[in-house]
Amino acid sequence: PAAELDLPDGAIRIDLTFFAHGEELPAPVQQSSGAAGMDLLAALPAGEDLLLAPGQFLAVPCGFAMALPEGYEAQVRPRSGLALKHGVTVLNAPGTIDADYRGEVRVILINHGQKPFPISRGDRIAQMVIAPVQAAAFRVVDLLDGTERGAGGFGSTGTRHG
């Protein structure tokens, strides 16, 4: 049975279910009132740690599935501390979890560092941000409006300020 939930002002309800290997891990939660992201934890079996070798990538299970409300997505983003200290990041950052996906949430990590990186059950491996999705429809035109920038891209505005 689903537990009743007191929603903070402006919050949306997201239904979540744990897989057997995710039980006993906490559900994602914002750790402070100003936090945008919620930590995602590695749902590895106890005692079955992973070692992510330099250059290696793999999908780490989080042990849960969720039902995002229509009109929302979840973005899976790197944790800045893992990137800075170990060179470990989310390979497809930001990863997108669509509202109609009902499979297990998994995080594709890659080790850009020089040393193997250990991952254990319950380790914080990424963060998830819930965001609204803007529907769009494209209209084919013969000519686009002009702008100051035009077609310049890939560093065309320079790298130095001033």
State pLDDT tens for residues 43-53: 999 899 999 99
Q: How far is CA 54 from the centre of its chain?
A: 21
Domains in the chain with CATH codes = 15-132 (2.70.40.10)
pLDDT in tens, 54-98: 999 999 999 999 999 999 999 999 999 999 999 999 999 999 999
The H or E element containing residue 80 is helix 80-86
The pTM (predicted TM-score) of the whole model is 0.87
Hey, what amino acid is at 105? Answer: V
Given a contact cutoff of 8 angstroms between Cβ atoms, the answer to whether 143 and 124 are in contact is no
DSSP string, 107-130: EEEEE-SSS-EEE-TT-EEEEEEE
Give the C-alpha separation, 41 to 127, whole Å: 9
Given a contact cutoff of 8 angstroms between Cβ atoms, the answer to whether 39 and 123 are in contact is no
